[in-house]
Amino acid sequence: MSSDVTADLIRALIENMKGASDDWETLAMVIDFSGGRFSGTHGYAYAPSGVISAVASRPSAIRPAVNAYIEDHYQPGAALPVAILVQFDRTKGEFEVTFEDSDASRWKVTPANIDEIREKLRPSFA
């Protein structure tokens, strides 16, 4: 795995993120794929004060970084994941990337699970 494409992906998500308070400390962003193509993002930014902000990054702005990341991790023609979870702690510089290959509902936010999913996605690096 190339750390450069990972760093570029995280940077693109942050630079194009909408909805976060300025004092966010950690980030969890889900990159969604539909029909084998990148389709959008959703996630949360977590501030030390306890504020949790719903966030997203503009797909057209991050598409080049997403494509570079996918090209680095998948062979041409290979089945792509249905989602990728990117977790980042900007204070510690730690990150984790988790692939979901089959369960498109794993990180889907609904009115019934919004509180649970915000905590499930919260970065917690051991």
How many CB atoms are closer than 10 A to CB 16? Answer: 16
Q: What is the side-by-side strand order in the sheet with 26-34?
A: 17-18, 52-57, 37-46, 26-34, 83-89, 94-100
- Whole-model pTM? 0.93
pLDDT for 1: 46
Could you tell me the residue ranges of all domains in the chain? 3-121
pLDDT for 6: 96
Looking at the domain that runs over 3-121, which CATH code has it been given? 3.30.500.20
pLDDT for 8: 97
E strand segments, 1-126: 17-18, 26-34, 37-46, 52-57, 83-89, 94-100
User: From CA 93, how far away is CA 113, in angstroms rounded?
Assistant: 29
* Stretch (H or E) spanning 11: helix 3-15
Low-confidence ranges of the chain (pLDDT < 50): 1
pLDDT for 2: 52
pLDDT for 36: 85
Query: Percent of the chain having pLDDT more than 90?
Result: 90
- What's the pLDDT tens digit per position in 21-40? 899 999 999 999 998 899 99
CB 83 within 8 A of CB 38: no
